Amino acid sequence: MNRRTLLMSAAALALVGGTAQAQQLSLGAVSSYLNGLTTATSGFTQINGDGTISTGQLYIKRPGRIRFEYNAPDNSLVMAGGGSVAVFDPRSNAGVERYPLNQTPLSIILARNVDLTRARMVTGHTSDGTTTTITAQDPDHPEYGNIQMVFSANPTELRQWIVTDNVGEQTTVILNGLQPGGSISDRQFNIQAETASRGG
């Protein structure tokens, strides 16, 4: 059994290890949960489209801000703030890569007002008895891709997501105990300040 198979097996066990049986969460309940998630931190494991695995620490400050700090040997940083996403890759000579946040499926959960009941936003809503899985897209721009989110219940908690981008590549992020609340500095999401501190 290779590392990826072990990881996926562990993730599956973690997702079903909460309650023995849980009802399907409604779109309204999940929207309320996400809207109440003002700040949060979590460790994460990321499975990339090419099968490689990365780990790190995640910071969320809604609306519109998220930060992924990747552990060695990756040591990269991805952050969203001010309506943009920036990728800082120490192995790249091309400098900071930037693109609009609203063109990524992550913008759905970082929106000021998450409303999953909006027409044509949710394309999948299922439950396996222990978790609820919701697939959502920007109803005005489905070409930007989608995000498939997995939630446990009692209490409601975001456990993982899979982002499918505009070219069909998938990235899975498994959260390791999302901790809501707490104070997170706005500096953590300031792309200009981060660029300057790196001599960019």
Domain for residue 150, yes or no?
Answer: yes
Six-digit token string for 125: 């809503």
Domain for residue 71, yes or no?
Answer: yes
What range does the domain containing 106 cover? 21-197
Q: State residue 22's pLDDT score.
A: 55
Place of tokens 């104070």: 183
Q: What is the CATH number of the domain that holds 95?
A: 2.50.20.10
Enter the pTM of the model: 0.86
Burial 15-25 (b: 16+ CB within 10 A, else e): beeeeeebebb
Domain for residue 13, yes or no?
Answer: no
Tens place of pLDDT per residue across the chain (200 aa): 444 444 444 444 444 444 344 579 999 999 999 999 999 999 999 999 999 999 999 999 999 999 999 999 888 999 999 999 999 998 888 789 999 999 999 999 999 999 999 999 999 999 998 999 999 999 999 999 999 999 999 899 999 999 999 899 999 999 998 999 999 999 999 999 999 988 76
Among 172, 200, 156, 127, CA closest to 29: 156
Q: State residue 74's pLDDT score.
A: 86
The count of structural domains within the chain is: 1
